[in-house]
Amino acid sequence: MSHVKDDDQTGVDRQERIAREVAGRLGLVVQARHVFVDNNRSAWRRSRKRKGWDELLAAVQAGEVRHVIAYHPDRLMRQPRDLEELLAVAEERSVTLHGEANNRDLADPDDRFILRIEVAHACRSSDDTSRRLKSAMVDRAGDGLPHPGQRRYGYSPDGMTVIPAEAEVVKEVFAAYLDGTDAAAIARQLNARGVPTTQGKVWQADSVLSVLDSRHAAGIQVFRGQEIGRGSWPAVIDPGTWAEVRDRRAVRAAVWATGRQPTFYLLRGLLTCRRCGVRMSGSATGGSPSYACSRRRRQDQARCVRRVTARYVDEFVAEAAVALLADLQPAGPAQAAGGLSEADQAAVAADEAELAELKEMWQARELSTREYRQMRRTVEDRVKKLQRKTVVRPAAEVLDGMVGPGARAAWDRLKAAGDYPRMNAILRFLFAAVLIEESRAPAGEFDYSRIEIEPNPL
């Protein structure tokens, strides 16, 4: 069936009835195995596979059919290469193509000539429609508006208005995931409370993951699969929480991809190279696990080979966390302040103003889309480093059972159970960053003075 805005909206079932009427008028017998259907498979999309079309070609090539009946040729093929493929297999079989208003003998040179013109016209029409749709998408992206489509959970159908009750569920899903609860367990919890999805169905692990993957909930504008800045709709999830979930999703995705649990680096997402100001990631190079600057693979002067042994820094930061937990006595749903300093706030404001200026230049066609994306990415990277300090989650949930005199015993139980995601969530709640300086200790000794812990305000 053609695009929804086309005049002709004749469905596939009705097309089959019309085709059977044509067969009846011609006195042709149609066997059930020779009815080929490609519902929801557009004929003009070059990359889309059409099972029915492939089976039709095979039947023609095998000499099983002498007549092909379609509602209209442009429902059968809208690409010149499709026509040539059909002509190639039908050339020796004297196949006739029948439609609602006409028929073409595929072995007749004149009919082949007319068909080529008709298909070329249909292809041009499809390309014009595609161009108009893409232009409309560019305009919407330039205006900061979301693309139309299925309703996003937490928002009205236009994607611009927050639905408060659903927004609270979105926040709960993000908080539970960061606290170590997997998607299937979150789905069970929502179903037990009778919370429906946007389609009124029960939650599955996939539907929970679609909420966690929704950049719309974080107010992120997406154009052709790329993030292009902030949208004009209100965000439900703060940028810091969104970035933290992306990190956690990457780890769990690796488990599914490899079929085994990879080494879990306790301080992932926290360690920062003091020299470069960028993250340090887990690395098993050299045998023992360590954290290495993410610029270690650079081939220019920005390359950095700073590294720190994971076991020592993990133990040091964990001890600091246990000492802090033992002194904490949270009451009620206290929140991690996660506030930025005045200097950080000013830096974020300046970067956001720069992003707005870049967007205006892109809208005015002063920058190409590629230039805009490259320049925007540089600025956004600076903003994200600061916004990671603003993760806000209920302390009562993150620190449940972990504070007071029993903090060490509770931490040891998590360690014995191998619940590293929960331990990592607690550390990221307590600390904004762990900065790693250059080592000044002699070879073979670990320099604990190179570790600087930056706490979150609590």
Tell me the pLDDT of the chain averaged across its residues.
76
Q: Which of 228, 240, 43, 263 is closest to 146 using CA atoms? A: 228
Beta bridge partners of 105: 96
More confident residue, 431 or 368: 431
More confident residue, 442 or 123: 442
Region 412-437: mean pLDDT is: 86
For the chain, the C-alpha Rg in angstroms (whole number) is: 30
| Torsion angle (degrees, nearest 10) of CA 342, 248, 219, 346 | 10
Region 411-438: mean pLDDT is: 86
More confident residue, 322 or 106: 322
More confident residue, 96 or 411: 411
Q: Which amino acid is located at 27 in the chain?
A: G
b or e along 214-246 (b: 16 or more beta carbons within 10 Å of the residue's beta carbon)?
A: bbbbbbbbebeeeebbbbebebbbbbbbbbbbe
Q: Does residue 259 sit in helix, strand or coil?
A: coil
Residue 188 pLDDT > 50: yes
- Residue 317: the pLDDT is 93
As given in the structure block, the two tokens for residue 392 are: 């806000």
Residue 286 pLDDT > 80: no
Q: What are the tens digits of pLDDT across the range 212-267? A: 888 888 887 666 656 666 777 888 888 777 877 877 776 555 544 444 444 678 88
Q: N- to C-terminal Cα distance for the chain?
A: 58
User: Cα separation of 325 and 235, whole Å?
Assistant: 32
- Residue 340: the pLDDT is 61
Q: What are the tens digits of pLDDT across the range 422-433? A: 888 888 888 888
Q: What are the tens digits of pLDDT across the range 46-85? A: 555 778 888 888 888 888 888 888 877 666 765 677 777 7
